[in-house]
Chains A and B, each alone.
Chain A
Amino acid sequence: MSDIDPNARINLSKALVLLIDGSQHSVDVLAQIMKGFGVPEVYRCTNIDEAEKITRARTFDLIIIDPQVSDGAGYEFLNGLRQSEGAPNAYTPVVLISGHARATDVRRARDTGANFFVAKPITPSVLLQRILWVARDKRPFVEVGKYIGPDRRFKFEGPPPGSDGRRENDLSAPLGSADEPNMSQTEIDSLIKPQRVMI
């Protein structure tokens, strides 16, 4: 179980989960795993038409999808889901599961807006780890250009060397020296000390 504390309690008894995979047997195995985790309601789709219908009607707590479903239509489906601001599942956590991946698939997968990628063959242990990780993920969603989804940077180490960055709030790597004297501890304390405010 590597990263999972075996005694940690998990409660998925109220979770609604959608599974999308082009293979009926793969989706059935996933459903068995999710039921083992205590999920009472699991919806299974083996094509994108079914998935589109059900995601318009229900709000899911988790979507697990193989983007190869319906001849690769899963990528477009996920993009559409993230672009559908105000729709029930625009920000639902998505775990993307992928079998053999071609280089073009990897590039497409990166830009779908999925929260995490899991390589097949799936094991219950890896899937549970990823579900827990996705639920506790602190990355913000970002909307930039045509992309909407979790920040694709897992850690921010500043803009590439020699550049000022691409974002308006990027700071160049060398910050330079301070142009004002350092604040005293008293000044810092006064900033964080609770103040009584007259209303």
Chain B
Amino acid sequence: MSVVRRFHPEVRLKTLLAEPGGVTAKTALDRAADNVESVREDCLVAIDVKIEALTEAAKTQDEELLSRVYRLSNEIFAEAGIFGLIELSAAAHSLCTLTSAGASKGKNAAIMVHIEAMRVLRRPDVSNDRLARGAVLAGLRGLTAKLAATA
């Protein structure tokens, strides 16, 4: 039998939240959304830099390749998602899944295709066209399904 110690530590956060004053939840959320929008451009530039870093990382083919690609694509997944770049976020997530899975035939080529797809999704003509974005993502999904079937 395990011996379990149970206790209730004091949570100051609960007391603070309930103090008089503050703002309504709606105001808090509106302000947060405005603040996020204020850093949108900086973050989109950073996403483009990360896609370029992915391209460079994929050229090296060294032992650290997969962990570098995984880390960068995970960051792009999260940051693109915050700003509503759904297809880019989904492509980055797909790249995370691909790099975290075991070795498979054609994996390196599939990584390159993902990176290229992410570059295309950031091109103004594609990023402003919902159908084009959807087509790029559908192509990626077809590729990953094919890879999974041959693994």
Q: How far is the CA of A8 from the CA of B20 in the complex (A)?
A: 12
Interface residue stretch chosen among B72-80, B107-115, B122-130, B134-142: B72-80
Neighbour of A14 across the interface among B14, B16, B89, B93, CB < 8 A: B16
Residues of A in contact with B, size category:
35 or more
Residues of B within 8 A of A90 (CB): 9
Residues of A within 8 A of B70 (CB): 100
User: Is A37 located at the chain interface by the 8 A CB criterion?
Assistant: yes
Q: How far is the CA of A137 from the CA of B96 in the complex (A)?
A: 33
**Docked-complex contact B13 and A25, CB < 8 angstroms:** no
Residue of B nearest to A31 (CB): B35
**Docked-complex contact B3 and A144, CB < 8 angstroms:** yes
Residues of A within 8 A of B3 (CB): 144, 168
Known: A10-B28, A26-B75, A38-B28. A166 touches B34 (CB 8 A): no
| A residues 74-111 in Cβ contact with B at 8 Å | 90-91, 93, 99-100, 102
Residues of A within 8 A of B26 (CB): 1, 6-7
Known: A29-B39, A32-B35, A168-B3. A13 touches B14 (CB 8 A): no
Q: How far is the CA of A81 from the CA of B143 in the complex (A)?
A: 43
Interface residue stretch chosen among A47-55, A128-136, A182-190: A128-136
Number of A-B contacts (CB under 8 A): 183
**Docked-complex contact B25 and A1, CB < 8 angstroms:** yes
Residues of B within 8 A of A177 (CB): none
User: Is A145 located at the chain interface by the 8 A CB criterion?
Assistant: yes
Residues of B in contact with A, size category:
35 or more
User: Is B24 located at the chain interface by the 8 A CB criterion?
Assistant: yes
Neighbour of A120 across the interface among B10, B16, B31, B77, CB < 8 A: B77
Known: A29-B39, A135-B11. A100 touches B32 (CB 8 A): no
Residue of A nearest to B31 (CB): A36
Residues of B within 8 A of A132 (CB): 17
Q: How far is the CA of A48 from the CA of B71 in the complex (A)?
A: 16
* A128, chain B: closest CB distance, angstroms: 6
Most buried by A among B18, B29, B39: B29
User: Is A173 located at the chain interface by the 8 A CB criterion?
Assistant: no
* A67, chain B: closest CB distance, angstroms: 12
Interface pairs (6), CB distance under 8 Å: A7-B26, A12-B17, A28-B39, A128-B28, A141-B9, A151-B6
Residues of A at under 8 Å CB distance from B?
A: 1, 4-15, 22-26, 28-29, 32-38, 61-62, 68, 71, 90-91, 93, 99-100, 102, 120-125, 128, 131-132, 134-137, 140-145, 151, 166-169
